[in-house]
């Protein structure tokens, strides 16, 4: 931990030098920079009293930064979640705010809540997952703090230097931020969450500004599934337009997913045609996945789709068009009719 | 400055009239829509050899697809009798006017171009929007959920925060109640949908499935040429453009090693099991 911290401080010093030139001011800010220690607030998600494990990626990202890490949870009867989070390795403290007004993650009251606790704790970094919750909330917090947020980072190169994909993952941007608080959302698949056990953080009640929300939560309609969560699954099978209909999609892809114990994903074309639920979309505008195995059938491989899956360890593709772009990224490709090949694959996987 | 002084006076007049009615009964609801000019989604981008960015010379540019959806939604709300005017706004260099013309051809009533050079990050864009909102007093600000170039997904949330307005992000359905000045928004969240109800004025950002944007017809493209595009500079809007982020480099993503084509399902299983060890 000592090394990254040291290089971070050196980097910060370099930033100060560049900003102010070689003047007396630069020396004082240099000292200030050296004295200032890193401290990160990791915003954790919870749902009905259960900690969302995929939000722990922000803790492992924070560990790459060095410095102390505090977790943050809020919601009704959240004490138990705070204690669960206290066991996560790497956390020094868990700040919790017990108020059911925060249960639905509305940014209108969450943003002032975070601003208050960020100011109170004097954090240098605030990290959250690049999930629907994090994406919705963090830019609002950033605006209130007058800082430019950094979205969906995939690597940390120093205290103020971060790497993120742009143009649907077709270019990789390294940026340096001079903001005094760095607000960041973290790509979950780039920072695998660490151990949920073994830590022994203290818990502490945070500040609650109790701002009313002009937005009222009405209802939700979430897909219930026993399958592994698409964003964190080890294996993903994914279907595209080639599946032809919802019935075919379910008939062909579901048994394959069952045979592999995989999550099911889909291309935008499949989702738009109603073959699969919106929440299963993999791609630039859907979910980013990076499983050990991404097995897709009937997907041509448009750049927007590749953006969401090309960090998978092994990509296997079945497509009847030998010229489909998917074969340019696939480790193993099989040219053939998916209605024949996928059931055959499913049978052989089951019997082996 | 003097070339649009009449326009400024007009807008001050309409603005003071509109202001009185704004938060109660509102027959003349105005919608402001953000549109960004980006490299066309179908273009395979190239990273510049000097790693300072991506090649944008002689590359096809278009309206960001999510912005098209935002504009389409505003037009549908207007056509449904719920709004009286749709104002399209774009920020950036002079070429943004082309994108605004496209928006006008789709059906926007008028447009505003904030002429700014240099990098414009979402925070600065949000501040410029806040200034325009205070000037124009729309009851609804609609943006796309993200631009396909920087993939930030921040601007809408930031404007909402700066204005203290409610936000309905990643919207796949929007229903307005003009009487009660409420918007009901279905949002795409991880695992499904969520429905929120919020007071107007509000900020909404659009997801892919909100609607299917229309094409501009030739007569409308002709008509759009005579519609007004008003120009502001950040100075005129009293917004200082900070550059909080410094781009250190832009590189190509790591290339994947070329794979193999197998000829049978058995071979596929063999590769995955015995070479890749993933099943």
ipTM of the complex in this document: 0.89
> Is residue B214 within a helix (H) or strand (E), and if so which, with residue range?
none
Query: Given this model, what pLDDT does residue B10 score?
Result: 52
Give the residue-averaged pLDDT of B183-198.
95
pLDDT of residue A20 exceeding 50, the answer is: no
pLDDT for A27 equals: 41
Q: Do A143 and B159 touch (CB under 8 A)?
A: yes
Q: Is A165 in a helix, a strand, or coil?
A: strand
Q: What is the pLDDT of residue B11?
A: 52
Mutation choice for A interface testing from B154, B173, B177, B261 by most A CBs within 10 A: B154
Name which of B45, B122, B166 is nearest A215 (Cβ-Cβ): B166
Whether pLDDT at A340 is above 90:
yes
Helix (H), strand (E) at residue A294: strand A293-297
C-beta separation of B98 from B37 below 8 A:
yes
Contact A331 B259 (CB under 8 A): yes
- Tens-place pLDDT, residues B5-22: 444 455 544 554 445 445
Higher per-residue pLDDT: A286 or A196: A286
C-beta atoms of B278 and A179 within 8 A = no
Confirm or reject contact between B240 and chain A (CB < 8 A).
no
Q: What percent of chain B has pLDDT over 70?
A: 90
Task: Pick from A171, A226, A307 the residue to mutate for testing the B interface (most B CBs within 10 Å).
Answer: A171
Answer yes or no: is pLDDT of B125 > 90. Answer: yes
* pLDDT cut 90: percent of chain B above it: 84
| Non-local CB neighbours of A172 within 8 Å, separated by 6+ positions | A154, A163, A164, A165, A166, B250, B251, B252, B253
Where helices occur in chain A by DSSP H, the ranges are 2-20, 24-35, 57-65, 79-86, 107-121, 132-145, 246-260, 268-272, 303-306, 326-329, 338-351
Considering only alpha carbons, which residue of chain A is nearest residue B146?
A285
How far does the CA of residue B154 sit from the closest CA of chain A (Å)?
5
Provide the pLDDT for residue B256. Answer: 87
- Residue-level pLDDT at B220: 94
- CA angle, corner A61, sides to A59 and A64, nearest 5? 115
Query: Binning pLDDT at 50, 70 and 90, where does residue B238 land?
Result: very high
Closest to A163 measured CA to CA, from A138, A132, A141, A191: A191
Question: Could you tell me which of B279, B252, B121, B231 has the C-alpha nearest to residue A171?
Answer: B252
CA distance B276 to chain A (A): 7
Looking from the CA of A293 toward its CB, the CA atoms found within 13 Å total 24
Mean pLDDT over residues B211-217, rounded? 95
pLDDT number for residue B197: 98
Q: In this complex, which of A138, A167, A345 lies closest to B269 when CB atoms are compared?
A: A345
* B-chain residue closest to A310, CA distance: B256
Residue burial B148-170, b: 16+ Cβ < 10 Å; e: rest:
bbbbbbbbbbbbbbbbebbbbbb
Nearest by CB to A171, from B152, B199, B250: name it.
B250
A87 close to B (CB below 8 A)? no
Chain B residues inside the 8 Å CB shell of A149: 122-123, 152, 154, 158
Q: Residue A224 has what pLDDT?
A: 79
Q: What is the reported pLDDT for B63?
A: 98
**A347: nearest CA in chain B?**
B265
- Sorting pLDDT into bands at 50, 70 and 90, what band is A305? very high
Write the residue in A140, A216, A217 that is nearest to B158 by C-beta: A140
Question: What residues of chain B lie within 8 A of the CB of A165, using their CB?
Answer: 151, 253
Residue A122 has pLDDT above 50, yes or no: yes
User: Which of A12, A46, A137, A143 to mutate: most B Cβ within 10 Å?
Assistant: A143
Q: Do B259 and A333 touch (CB under 8 A)?
A: yes
Question: What's chain A's length in residues?
Answer: 352
Q: Is A162 on the interface with B (CB under 8 A)?
A: no
Write down the pLDDT at residue A225.
80
Chain A residue with minimum CA distance to B212: A272
- The answer to whether B140 faces chain A, any CB pair under 8 Å, is no
Task: Report the range of poorest mean pLDDT among A22-36, A56-70, A106-120, A326-340.
Answer: A22-36
Q: Does B58 touch chain A (CB under 8 A)?
A: no
Contacts of A181 in chain B (CB under 8 A): none
Contacts of A197 (CB under 8 A, 6+ apart): A87, A88, A89
- pLDDT of A29: 47
Asked if B184 is an interface residue toward chain A (Cβ–Cβ < 8 A), one would say yes
Which residues fall within 8 angstroms of residue A14, CB to CB, at 6 or more apart? none
CB contact (8 A) between residue A215 and residue B197: yes
Contacts of B67 in chain A (CB under 8 A): none
Residue of A55, A145, A173, A345 for testing the chain B interface, max B β-carbons within 10 Å = A173
Res. B253: pLDDT tops 90: yes
Give the 3-state secondary structure of A175-239: EEECCCCEEEEECHHHCCCCCCCCCCCEEEECCCCCCCCCEEEEEEEECCCCCCCCCCCCEEEEE
Q: What is the pLDDT of residue A11?
A: 52
Give residues with Cβ within 8 angstroms of B51, minimum separation 6.
B249, B250, B251
How confident is the model over A170-196, as a mean pLDDT?
Answer: 93
Nearest by CB to residue B250, choosing from A139, A172, A268, is A172
Q: Does A19 touch chain B (CB under 8 A)?
A: no
Residue A331: pLDDT band (50, 70, 90) is very high
Q: Is B153–A151 a contact, with Cβ atoms under 8 angstroms apart? A: yes
CB contact under 8 A, B167 and A136: yes
Mean pLDDT of A296-320: 96
- The more confidently predicted of residues A237 and B14 is A237
Neighbouring C-alpha atoms within 13 Å toward the C-beta of A189:
22
pLDDT at A6 over 80: no
Indicate the pLDDT class of residue A23, thresholds 50, 70 and 90. Answer: very low
C-alpha angle B117/B118/B120, rounded to 5°? 95
Cα dihedral A85, A86, A90, A95 sign? positive
Confidence category of residue B107, pLDDT binned at 50, 70, 90? very high
User: Considering CB atoms only, which of B196, B264, B269 is closest to A349?
Assistant: B269
Give contacts of B266 with chain A, Cβ < 8 Å: 348
């Amino acid at each position: 931990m000592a090394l990254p911290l040291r290089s971070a401080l050196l980097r910060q010093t370099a930033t100060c030098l560049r900003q102010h030139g070689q003047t007396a001011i630069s020396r004082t800010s240099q000292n200030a920079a050296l004295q200032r220690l890193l401290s990160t607030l990791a915003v954790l998600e919870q749902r009905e009293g259960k900690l969302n494990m995929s939000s722990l990626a922000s803790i492992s990202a924070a560990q790459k930064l060095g410095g102390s890490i505090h977790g943050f949870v809020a919601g009704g009867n959240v004490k138990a979640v705070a204690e669960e989070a206290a066991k996560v390795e790497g956390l020094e403290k868990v700040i919790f705010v017990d108020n059911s007004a925060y249960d639905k993650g509305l940014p209108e009251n969450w943003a002032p809540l975070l601003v208050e606790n960020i100011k109170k704790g004097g954090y240098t970094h605030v990290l959250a997952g690049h999930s629907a919750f994090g994406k919705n909330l963090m830019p609002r917090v950033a605006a209130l703090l007058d800082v430019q947020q950094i979205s969906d980072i995939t690597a940390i190169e120093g205290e103020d230097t971060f790497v993120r994909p742009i143009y649907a993952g077709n270019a990789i941007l390294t940026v340096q931020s001079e903001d005094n608080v760095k607000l960041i959302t973290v790509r979950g698949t780039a920072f695998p969450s660490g151990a949920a056990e073994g830590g022994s953080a203290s818990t502490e009640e945070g500040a609650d500004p109790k701002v009313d929300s002009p937005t009222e939560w009405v209802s939700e309609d979430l897909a219930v599934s026993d399958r592994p969560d698409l964003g964190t699954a080890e294996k993903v099978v994914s279907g595209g337009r080639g599946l032809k209909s919802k019935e075919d999609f379910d008939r062909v892809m579901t048994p394959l997913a069952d045979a592999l114990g995989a999550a099911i994903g889909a291309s935008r074309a499949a989702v738009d045609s109603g073959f699969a639920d919106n929440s299963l979309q993999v791609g630039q505008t859907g979910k980013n996945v990076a499983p050990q195995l991404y097995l897709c059938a009937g997907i041509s491989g448009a750049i927007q789709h590749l953006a969401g899956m090309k960090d998978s360890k092994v990509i296997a593709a079945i497509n009847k068009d030998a010229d489909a772009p998917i074969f340019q990224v696939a480790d193993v490709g099989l040219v053939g009719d998916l209605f024949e090949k996928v059931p055959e694959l499913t049978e052989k996987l089951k019997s082996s | 400055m003097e070339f649009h002084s009449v326009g400024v006076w007009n807008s001050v007049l309409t603005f003071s009239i509109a202001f009185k009615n704004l938060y109660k009964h509102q027959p003349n609801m105005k919608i402001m829509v953000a549109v960004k000019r980006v490299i066309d989604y179908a273009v395979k981008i190239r990273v510049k050899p000097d790693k300072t960015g991506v090649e944008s010379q002689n590359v096809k540019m278009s309206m960001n697809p999510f912005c098209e959806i935002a504009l389409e939604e505003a037009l549908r709300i207007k056509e449904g009798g719920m709004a009286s005017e749709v104002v399209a706004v774009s920020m950036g260099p002079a070429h943004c006017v082309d994108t605004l013309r496209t928006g006008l051809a789709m059906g926007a009533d008028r447009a505003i171009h904030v002429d700014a050079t240099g990098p414009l990050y979402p925070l600065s864009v949000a501040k410029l929007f806040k200034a325009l909102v205070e000037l124009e007093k729309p009851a609804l600000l609609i943006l796309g959920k993200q631009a396909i170039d920087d993939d930030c997904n921040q601007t809408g949330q930031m404007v909402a925060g700066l204005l203290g307005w409610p936000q309905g992000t990643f919207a796949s359905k929007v229903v307005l109640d003009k009487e009660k000045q409420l918007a009901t928004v279905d949002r795409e969240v991880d695992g499904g949908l969520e429905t929120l109800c919020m007071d107007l004025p509000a900020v909404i950002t659009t997801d892919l499935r909100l609607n299917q944007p229309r094409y501009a017809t030739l007569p409308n493209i002709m008509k759009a040429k005579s519609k007004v595009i008003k120009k502001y500079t950040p100075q005129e809007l009293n917004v200082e453009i900070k550059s909080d982020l410094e781009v250190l480099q832009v590189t190509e993503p790591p290339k994947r090693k070329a794979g193999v084509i197998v000829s049978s399902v058995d071979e596929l299983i063999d590769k995955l099991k015995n070479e890749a060890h993933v099943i």
